[in-house]
């Protein structure tokens, strides 16, 4: 039974007890505990259920590699699933519940899966897909859904704050153990800018637990001295609770800082993601101990040997009272000595090696502990807790020769360097057969832009597993007990029977056993990457930290090849899961994405505008009054604009100034029509096409002066078109003398539209806005009501219309002045929907409605806007290709339903017959469709095969519910066909 020891615990503060709840029951721990050590210290060893078979599980490890004990942490809006107990620092009031069980942790109906586990072998998921769809729906999917799933997904918005920060350094050291501290100090002394990141809250790594001497000092003293030296240096940033999650190209590293996980609700950001550029990353990430694969190695109480001594030394927690150590190496003997030192009973050390010797082994023998040589654990007895182990010859098949009672098994299968960071950006690892591990290949590091290494491994991560080797690499002197070589053990006992292998777990989280990997090999899986996916080995949230090497070793044996021939799977970031909050950073709520606001934005908001997103802008769709439906307010706005006067905030329209001796020539290339001939002070509607001929933007171009033009673009297109202009100027016609500037935001622009527009402006006064002084399609600069104004006589509604640009900082004042002056004329603001309807009533096209990237101006009856005189313009040659000149291309027409209803948007007109796919043929589609309050009926535009030649023909449009709507082909100009209203 696990328990808290009466003394010791280098990381806990017994003067600060903490209360918390696990599965709604009270528990206690101390400041400095992890959730894992507190649970273990309070006697709990059954802490979760496995993912697939719902087997009882307890702690295996003490750190980031823990596969089993993931908990739901927190309540209400702070609930978060899949939190690793070993890396969760305990805090007062912590609330945790175990996962993956029903109805309770102790009694789980799902564990019946365990009995059915013979039916769920390797590749189970794939094999089920081969059954009928019916079997999948009725049988397999419900079973899998019930069996699968880790923690509960949160249902409420996260109340915490997250952020990111950018950092730069010459040397990033990942890991604050002895090797990392030494590497940081060395670089810092050379004057380099250093960031040292340690994923836990403590410095020194394993050394304080494992002991030895560094330059004659105990690890504690040496760590303290080194830290002191580093803290005093300006060029060093020391970061605890910070994991280097990933290393990417060009030395870009992602650091995950858990700022306030241990102090929830204290107002600090919870997590911070450091986006770091490092000249070189020193990978000092240590090593992870490997489990041994024997039957029942997943029973709660079976733990890594290093974890057992971590719990004893760091947190004064004994994982059991009577321990058995099982090992293939000397290092695990440290656990036995540590347990004895803590007053625990060590029943035996089971060593797979035939004749272990060395100082650690002898030290234990001297203490009178039984060392069973050449032995193995055949199986663990017990289901929810270890009761005993059956001992067998390691060389045999598992026939038990002895049973030893115990409540904890400390296992060690050797160590694997944490090569993840080294591998993320392309560094290679090589197999060291003598040391039985993959270690970084210093000759093949990940490289930067000049081929220089961007990472180097040091310490245990570099394969130096003992303190003396770690120190020697760092230019120090380390003293520690010598260790004899380990013996590779991948399955225990070596010739374990099928029945034993069926309970020998490799991947705890995904319940993958030795038998599964061997079955995969028998079924023809030779690639480690394929086997991984087929068996799900290493695919859980722990990403195979404990299972990877054991799994590929067993696969290699099954395939009869050496381990390096099999190779490893790919290591991918992040090292352990990081929070979505940290990835999101500040981008949530009001600042989830930039919201572009015109100077009049707040006015619209205050007037209750319903918004329409246009690019990153919000434009008023309509201004509904109290009790008004949107449709009603849109109709009111249209009728008022066409009978009195309406105001539109047109500030979002793109405004690009193009100036220079070659500007006219340039615009003649960019637009389909002639802009160089436009007289000063005049406006001309223009079309822009891509080099493939397709229509990409439109707008009114104004000639401001002899060498200066102002190009209006669509609201969503301003930045894109500015980039398009600069692209052609900088890449193709770099020697043309043209400058452009995007002045979209310099001006607030208001469309003053309607028969009373002129009266309104005349009331404001300041310049002559008469038909004579300012005819249709001209431009003048002056003042209006005291505001410096550029006034354009252009119309997108078919009404008398002025678009007036004033400096943006005066936009709101100008807008309000217009409203005040317009009161007597019945002025009202109108939104984008009214704008859309009015332009459709006039048959004006809209980029994005009538165009979709496949439409050319000729399709839209805009041939008049394409210059026949010009030798070239962007899109000209494309528009001459066969497909573009095909008389069968669908062409713009108006559509009028026979019953006056509004056609659904985007519907197709059917044709006779079916195509090669058996689908009904079509001959056209609706591109814009609205209710016209002026005409009091539905109007639409559409693209129809041979459209303009078929005036009066009736087309059929199938709509929802089997309904067919009939519409007649008509002229697209529905309102004021003669165009008399605009030109007054």
Partner 1 sequence: MSEAVSALKGESHAGFATVTEAGLSGMVTLRADLSATATRIALAGQGLKLPGPREIVAGEKGRFTAWMSPDELLVICSYDEAPAVAAGIAHSLHTEHVLVTNVSDARARFTIAGAKADQVLMKLCPVDFAALKPGEMRRTRAAQVAAAIWRSGPEELSLVCFRSVAAYVMGLLEVSARPGGELS
Q: Given 3-state DSSP classes, what are the helix, strand and coil percentages for the chain, each rounded to the nearest 5? A: 25, 30, 40
Report the residue from 451, 475, 524, 594 that binds partner 1 according to the rule CB under 8 A: 594
Report the residue from 148, 587, 680, 949 that binds partner 1 according to the rule CB under 8 A: 587
Tell me how far, at minimum, the Cβ of 594 lies from partner 1, in Å: 4
8 Å CB contact between 753 and 801: yes
Tell me how far, at minimum, the Cβ of 271 lies from partner 1, in Å: 12
Tell whether residue 740 is a contact of partner 1 (CB under 8 A): yes
Burial class (CB in 10 A: 0-12, 13-18, 19+), 156: exposed
Tell whether residue 596 is a contact of partner 1 (CB under 8 A): yes
DSSP 60-84: --SSTT--S-EEEESSGGG-EEEEE
What's the CA gap between 104 and 384, in Å, rounded? Answer: 13
What's the CA gap between 324 and 267, in Å, rounded? Answer: 46
| DSSP category for residue 260 | S
Specify the stretch interacting with partner 1 by CB under 8 A; choose among 143-151, 472-480, 605-613, 659-667: 659-667
654-659/739-742 β-pairing:
antiparallel
Tell whether residue 568 is a contact of partner 1 (CB under 8 A): no
Specify the stretch interacting with partner 1 by CB under 8 A; choose among 373-381, 485-493, 594-602, 955-963: 594-602
| Helix, coil or strand: residue 388 | strand
Tell me how far, at minimum, the Cβ of 874 lies from partner 1, in Å: 22
Report the residue from 3, 720, 737, 819 that binds partner 1 according to the rule CB under 8 A: 737
For partner 1, the closer CB: 143 or 614: 614
Instruction: Give the residue among 110, 120, 121, 94 at the shortest CA–CA distance from 49.
Output: 110
DSSP 509-545: TTTEEHHHHHHHHHTT--SHHHHHHHHTTT-STTTTT
| DSSP category for residue 498 | H
Specify the stretch interacting with partner 1 by CB under 8 A; choose among 163-171, 366-374, 476-484, 752-760: 163-171
478-479/213-214 β-pairing:
antiparallel
Tell me how far, at minimum, the Cβ of 807 lies from partner 1, in Å: 4
What's the CA gap between 308 and 58, in Å, rounded? Answer: 13
Report the residue from 32, 151, 205, 269 that binds partner 1 according to the rule CB under 8 A: 269
What's the CA gap between 917 and 229, in Å, rounded? Answer: 76
For partner 1, the closer CB: 433 or 595: 595
Report the residue from 487, 743, 954, 973 that binds partner 1 according to the rule CB under 8 A: 743
Tell whether residue 599 is a contact of partner 1 (CB under 8 A): yes
Footprint (CB under 8 A) of partner 1, residues 336-355: none
DSSP 851-882: -SSS--GGGGT-GGGS-SS-S--TTHHHHTSH
Cross-strand bridge partners of residue 909: 924
Tell whether residue 161 is a contact of partner 1 (CB under 8 A): yes
Would you state the structure tokens that stand for residue 404, as one six-digit string? 């030893």
Footprint (CB under 8 A) of partner 1, residues 249-268: 266-268
Tell whether residue 270 is a contact of partner 1 (CB under 8 A): no
For partner 1, the closer CB: 597 or 925: 597
Residue 145 makes CB contacts below 8 A (sequence gap 6+) with none
Chain mean position to CA 69: 25
Tell me how far, at minimum, the Cβ of 825 lies from partner 1, in Å: 22
Could you tell me where the beta strands, DSSP code E, fall in 512-638? 512-513, 610-614, 617-622
Instruction: Give the residue among 246, 546, 571, 552 at the shortest CA–CA distance from 416.
Output: 546
Report the residue from 134, 366, 449, 590 that binds partner 1 according to the rule CB under 8 A: 590
Would you state the structure tokens that stand for residue 904, as one six-digit string? 């659904």
For partner 1, the closer CB: 603 or 957: 603
What's the CA gap between 440 and 955, in Å, rounded? Answer: 71
Report the residue from 163, 261, 697, 698 that binds partner 1 according to the rule CB under 8 A: 163
Tell whether residue 604 is a contact of partner 1 (CB under 8 A): no
Give first-to-last CA distance, the chain, whole Å: 96
For partner 1, the closer CB: 770 or 809: 809
For partner 1, the closer CB: 429 or 808: 808
Tell whether residue 660 is a contact of partner 1 (CB under 8 A): yes
**Number of residues lying near partner 1 (CB under 8 A):** 50
Tell whether residue 680 is a contact of partner 1 (CB under 8 A): no
Cross-strand bridge partners of residue 400: 392
Specify the stretch interacting with partner 1 by CB under 8 A; choose among 157-165, 278-286, 366-374, 668-676: 157-165
Tell me how far, at minimum, the Cβ of 126 lies from partner 1, in Å: 42
For partner 1, the closer CB: 619 or 758: 619
Tell whether residue 661 is a contact of partner 1 (CB under 8 A): yes
Specify the stretch interacting with partner 1 by CB under 8 A; choose among 60-68, 580-588, 870-878, 943-951: 580-588
Tell me how far, at minimum, the Cβ of 661 lies from partner 1, in Å: 6
For partner 1, the closer CB: 233 or 878: 233
Sign of CA dihedral 578, 580, 584, 588: negative
CA 204-209-213 angle, 5° bins: 75
Tell whether residue 657 is a contact of partner 1 (CB under 8 A): yes
Report the residue from 82, 373, 745, 911 that binds partner 1 according to the rule CB under 8 A: 745
Footprint (CB under 8 A) of partner 1, residues 785-814: 786-787, 807-810, 812-813
Report the residue from 221, 477, 565, 595 that binds partner 1 according to the rule CB under 8 A: 595
For partner 1, the closer CB: 466 or 832: 832
For partner 1, the closer CB: 585 or 938: 585
Tell whether residue 241 is a contact of partner 1 (CB under 8 A): no
Sign of CA dihedral 216, 221, 225, 231: positive
Residues that bind partner 1 (CB under 8 A): 161, 163-168, 193, 237, 266-269, 275, 277, 585-587, 590-591, 593-599, 616-617, 657, 659-661, 737, 739-741, 743-747, 786-787, 807-810, 812-813
């Amino acid at each position: 039974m696990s328990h808290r020891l009466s003394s010791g615990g280098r990381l806990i503060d017994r003067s600060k007890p903490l209360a918390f709840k696990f599965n709604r029951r009270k528990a206690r721990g101390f400041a400095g505990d992890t959730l894992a050590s507190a649970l273990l210290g309070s006697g709990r060893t059954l802490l979760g259920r496995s993912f697939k078979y719902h087997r009882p599980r307890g702690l295996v490890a003490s750190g980031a590699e823990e596969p089993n004990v993931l908990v739901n942490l927190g309540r209400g809006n702070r609930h978060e699933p899949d939190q690793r107990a070993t890396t969760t620092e305990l805090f007062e009031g912590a609330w945790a519940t175990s996962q993956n069980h029903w109805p309770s942790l102790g009694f789980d109906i799902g564990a019946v899966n365990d009995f059915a586990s013979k039916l769920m072998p390797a590749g189970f998921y794939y094999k089920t897909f081969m059954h009928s769809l019916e079997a999948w729906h009725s049988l397999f999917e419900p079973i899998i859904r019930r069996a699968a799933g880790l923690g509960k997904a949160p249902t409420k918005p996260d109340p915490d704050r997250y952020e990111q920060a950018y950092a730069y350094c010459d040397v990033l050291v990942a890991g604050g153990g002895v090797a990392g501290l030494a590497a940081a100090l060395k670089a810092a002394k050379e004057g380099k800018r250093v960031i040292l990141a340690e994923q836990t809250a403590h410095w020194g790594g394993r050394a304080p637990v494992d002991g030895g001497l560094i330059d004659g000092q105990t690890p504690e003293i040496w760590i303290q001295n080194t830290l002191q030296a580093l803290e005093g240096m300006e060029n060093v940033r020391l970061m605890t609770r910070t994991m280097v999650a990933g290393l990417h190209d060009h030395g870009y590293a992602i650091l995950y800082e858990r700022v306030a996980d241990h102090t929830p609700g204290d107002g600090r950001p919870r997590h911070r993601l450091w986006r770091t550029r490092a000249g070189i990353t020193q990978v000092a990430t240590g090593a992870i101990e490997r489990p041994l694969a024997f039957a029942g190695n997943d029973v709660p109480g079976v733990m890594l040997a290093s974890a057992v001594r971590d719990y004893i030394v760091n947190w004064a927690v004994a994982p059991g009272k009577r321990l058995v150590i099982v090992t293939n190496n000397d290092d695990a003997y440290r656990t036995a000595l540590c347990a004895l030192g803590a007053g625990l009973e060590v029943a035996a050390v089971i060593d797979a090696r035939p004749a272990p010797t060395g100082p650690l082994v002898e030290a234990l023998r001297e203490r009178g502990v039984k060392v069973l040589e050449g032995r193995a654990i055949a199986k663990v007895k017990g289901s929810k807790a270890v009761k005993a182990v059956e001992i067998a010859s390691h060389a045999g098949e598992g026939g038990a020769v002895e049973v030893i009672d115990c409540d904890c098994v400390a296992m060690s299968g050797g160590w694997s360097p944490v090569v993840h960071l080294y591998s993320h950006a392309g560094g290679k690892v090589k197999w060291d057969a003598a040391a039985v591990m993959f270690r970084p290949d210093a000759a093949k590091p990940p490289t930067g832009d000049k081929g220089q290494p961007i990472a180097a491994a040091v310490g245990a991560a570099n394969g130096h597993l003992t303190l003396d080797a770690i120190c020697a690499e760092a230019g120090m002197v380390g003293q520690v007990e010598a260790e004899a070589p380990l013996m590779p053990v991948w399955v225990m006992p070596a010739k374990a029977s099928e029945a034993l292998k069926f309970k020998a777990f490799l991947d705890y989280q995904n319940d993958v056993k030795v038998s599964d990997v061997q079955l995969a090999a028998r079924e023809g899986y030779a690639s480690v990457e394929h086997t991984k996916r087929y068996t799900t080995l290493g695919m859980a949230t722990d990403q195979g930290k404990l299972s990877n090497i054991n799994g590929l070793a067993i696969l290699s044996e099954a395939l009869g090849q050496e381990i390096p021939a099999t190779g490893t799977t790919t290591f991918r970031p992040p090292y352990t899961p990081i929070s979505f909050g940290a990835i999101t950073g500040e981008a949530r709520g009001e600042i989830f994405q930039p919201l572009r606001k015109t100077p009049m934005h707040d006015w619209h908001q205050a007037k209750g505008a319903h918004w329409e997103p246009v690019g990153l802008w919000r434009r008023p769709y309509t201004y509904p009054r109290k009790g008004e439906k949107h449709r009603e307010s849109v109709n009111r706005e249209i009728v008022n604009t066409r009978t009195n006067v309406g105001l539109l905030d047109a500030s979002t329209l793109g405004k690009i100034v193009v100036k220079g001796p070659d500007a006219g020539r340039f615009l003649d290339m960019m637009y389909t029509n002639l802009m160089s001939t436009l007289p000063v002070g005049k406006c001309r509607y223009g079309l822009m096409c891509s080099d493939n001929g397709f229509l990409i933007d439109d707008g009114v171009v104004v000639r401001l002066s002899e060498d200066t033009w102002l190009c209006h673009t669509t609201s969503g297109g301003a930045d894109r078109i500015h980039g398009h202009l600069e692209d052609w100027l900088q890449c193709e016609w770099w020697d043309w003398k043209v400058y452009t500037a995007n002045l979209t935001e310099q001006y607030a622009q208001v469309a003053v539209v309607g028969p009373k527009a002129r009266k309104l402006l005349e009331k404001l006064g300041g310049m002559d806005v008469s038909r004579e002084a300012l005819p249709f399609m001209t431009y003048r600069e002056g003042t209006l009501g005291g505001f410096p104004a550029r006034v354009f006589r252009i119309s997108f509604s078919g009404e008398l219309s002025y678009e007036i640009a004033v400096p943006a900082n005066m936009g709101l004042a100008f807008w309000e002045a217009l409203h005040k002056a317009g009161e007597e004329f019945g002025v009202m603001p109108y939104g984008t929907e009214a704008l859309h309807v009015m332009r459709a009533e006039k048959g004006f096209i809209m980029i994005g409605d009538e165009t979709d990237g496949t439409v050319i101006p000729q399709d839209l009856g805009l041939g008049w806007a394409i210059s026949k005189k010009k030798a070239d313009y962007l899109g000209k040659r494309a528009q001459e290709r066969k497909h573009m000149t095909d008389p069968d291309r669908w062409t713009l027409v108006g559509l009028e339903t026979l019953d006056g209803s509004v056609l659904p948007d985007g519907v197709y007109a059917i044709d006779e017959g079916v195509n090669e796919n058996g689908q009904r043929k079509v001959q056209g589609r609706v591109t814009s469709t609205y209710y016209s309050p002026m005409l009091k009926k539905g109007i639409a535009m559409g693209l129809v095969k041979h459209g303009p030649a078929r005036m009066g023909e009736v087309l059929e449009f199938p709509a929802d519910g089997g309904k067919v709507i009939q519409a007649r082909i008509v002229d697209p100009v529905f309102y004021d066909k003669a165009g008399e209203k605009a030109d007054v």
